[in-house]
Amino acid sequence: MTRRWRWKEPSVLPGFGLTFGFVVFYLSLFVLIPLAALILRPWELGLGGFWDAVTTPRALAALRLSFYAAGVAALINAVMGLVLAWALVRYEFPGKRIIDALVDLPFALPTAVAGIALTAIYAPNGPIGAWFDEIGVRIAYTPTGVLLALIFVGLPFVVRSVQPVLEDVDREIEEAAETLGASAFQRARLVILPAILPALISGVGLAFARAVGEYGSVIFIAGNMPLKSEIAPLLIVIQLEQFNYAGAAAIGLAMLGLSFMVLLALNGLQAILSRRGQA
């Protein structure tokens, strides 16, 4: 029997041509063509020019800050997100529904609003900033401020990734571990943590990806000092204002490439862990 190569299984449901055509057209128009511009334009500078554009001290400092702060913020969110998810799934307490809803506020609150609010809090004359100012610590207009803003925008990701999985952790497995003499801490570490680890990693990846590219909530609090507290997205904007399209695209492409490498590594880690979890 010859096996014909088919790219689509036949179906009697109407509308494939229409919907598929529309989806491909729409994606081409709004995603593929624009991204093609991002991927192709930096090379107008030539390979050397591209390299020079992304390795100027200013660009390197901006990229380093964006990725470093995003990484630290994602790790902090991993720990605190896990605590929050645990509290929301495992315990009953008054106001739980509202707390649960508020977790999504960073998703819903426009980033510019978050940015000016965080600045107002942590500026040297703000309620918390003044307190730190007295002991000689500055938060706003430093990389610490950047970190704070990135913690804010990344908070929901870990909670929302871990929550459903934690809800699904089989209570019987936990009880079996208990009957086998595992202590409470051992149960958490040996039974629950492996089960939620893939979800935790995927939440960390999402929080990281969001934080690397974050702009609105950061630029107000960052102070935007070149080489010190200037993030990569801001540098893109500055390059654009100077009509250096290729340079802006080069930094954008470098950001995209680097964050895809990080996400790819996290995906790989997650795949290994999930496979182990199924055994």
Partner 1 sequence: MSAARRSAVRGAAPFVIGVGVLWLALVVLLPLGMVFAEAFRRGLEGFLQAFDEPDAWAAVRLTLLVAAISVPLNALFGLAAAWCISRYEFRGKALLTTLIDLPFSISPVISGLVWVLLFGTAGWFAPLLDALGVRVIFTVTGLVLATILVTLPFVARELIPLMQQQGADEELAALTLGAGPWAIFSKVTLPNVRWALLYGVLLCNARAMGEFGAVSVVSGHIRGLTNTLPLHVEILYNEYDFVGAFATATVLAGLALVTLLIKSLLEWRFADELAATRRH
Partner 2 sequence: MPLSIQNLTKTFQGFSALDAINLEVGDGEFLALLGPSGSGKTTLLRIMAGLDRPDSGTVDFDGEDFLAQTPRQRRVGLVFQHYALFRHMTVADNIAFGLKVRPRAQRPSKAAVAERVSELLRLVHLEGLEKRYPAQLSGGQRQRVALARALAIQPRLLLLDEPFGALDAKVRRELRRWLRHIHDETGVTTVFVTHDQEEALDLADRVAILNAGRIEQIASPLDLYQRPASAFVHDFLGGAVQLPGQVSDGELIVEGWRTRAPDGAPTGQVILGARGEDLSLADEGLETRIVSVSPRGFRTRVAVEIKGHMLDLDRPAHDPISDLAPGRTVRLRPDPIQLFKA
Positions that interact with partner 2 (CB under 8 A): 1, 3, 10, 12
Give phi and psi for 96, each to the nearest 5: -60, -40
What binding mask, one character per residue, do residues 133-172 give for partner 1 by CB under 8 A, x or -?
A: ------------------xx--x----x--xx--x-----
Tell me the C-alpha distance between 215 and 205, whole Å: 18
CB 233, CB 213: distance < 8 Å:
yes
Number of residues that bind partner 1 (CB under 8 A): 96
C-alpha angle 245-251-253 in degrees, rounded to nearest 5: 95
CB 211, CB 273: distance < 8 Å:
no
Minimum distance from CB of 273 to partner 1 (Å)? 19
Considering only the stretches 16-24, 54-62, 137-145, 268-276, report the one whose residues sit in contact with partner 1 under the rule CB under 8 A: 16-24
Total count of residues recorded for the chain: 279
Give phi and psi for 173, each to the nearest 5: -65, -40
Among 72, 75, 121, 269, binds partner 1 (CB under 8 A): 121
Considering only the stretches 17-25, 54-62, 133-141, 268-276, report the one whose residues sit in contact with partner 1 under the rule CB under 8 A: 17-25
Residue with smaller CB distance to partner 2, 3 or 171: 3
Q: What tokens appear for 160 in the block? A: 């929302």
Interactions with partner 1, residue window 186-225 (CB under 8 A) = 187-188, 191-192, 209, 212-216, 220
Minimum distance from CB of 1 to partner 2 (Å)? 6
The residues, any chain, with a CB within 8 Å of residue 198's CB and separated by 6 or more, are 165, 270, 273, 274, 277
Q: How far is C-alpha 214 from the geometric centre of its chain's CA atoms? A: 9
Tell me the C-alpha distance between 268 and 143, whole Å: 30
Residue 132 interacting partner from partner 1, partner 2, none (CB closer than 5 to 8 Å by kind) = none
What single letter denotes the amino acid at residue 105? Answer: L
Among 103, 147, 200, 201, binds partner 1 (CB under 8 A): 103
Minimum distance from CB of 17 to partner 2 (Å)? 16
Interactions with partner 1, residue window 26-85 (CB under 8 A) = 26-27, 30-35, 37-38, 41, 80, 83-84
Minimum distance from CB of 21 to partner 2 (Å)? 21
Residue 22 interacting partner from partner 1, partner 2, none (CB closer than 5 to 8 Å by kind) = partner 1
Q: How far is C-alpha 267 from the geometric centre of its chain's CA atoms? A: 13
